[in-house]
Amino acid sequence: MLTSKQRAFLRSLATTEDTIVMVGKGGMSDQIINQADDALTARELIKGKVLETADIDSREAAELIAAKTGADVVQVIGSKFVLFRRNTQAPKIELPKARKKR
């Protein structure tokens, strides 16, 4: 689970990322899930887009991909979404530390 500080950090990193996952009129397929899974393993942070012709909205698509890949939904704005999943073998992104509760 990401903290709000970590989410804000990841949102700032995502502004420079290219959109690499596209959900179109074919809807959510295993190929899209596999593409997102591979990209999350390689990059940890990915940006996706749901086209107007799709029969699913961006929030649903982001949550479905996140559930099937074990990722966290960082942000959904309009037709775009950002997902994050830590690569345990070779981490690329160092998240800000979560503050300990007293």
Q: What is the pLDDT of residues 63-87, one digit of tens each?
A: 999 999 999 999 999 999 999 999 8
* pTM of this structure: 0.90
Q: What is the pLDDT of residues 6-21, one digit of tens each?
A: 999 999 999 999 999 9
CA-CA distance, 39 to 21, in Å (whole number)? 9
Antiparallel, parallel or unpaired: β 45-50 and 19-23: parallel
pLDDT of residue 41: 94
* The residue to which tokens 């689970």 are assigned: 1
Question: What is the tally of helices (H) and strands (E) in the chain?
Answer: 3, 4
pLDDT of residue 100: 67
Residue 75, Cβ density class (10 Å: 0-12 exposed, 13-18 middle, ≥19 buried): middle
pLDDT of residue 102: 64
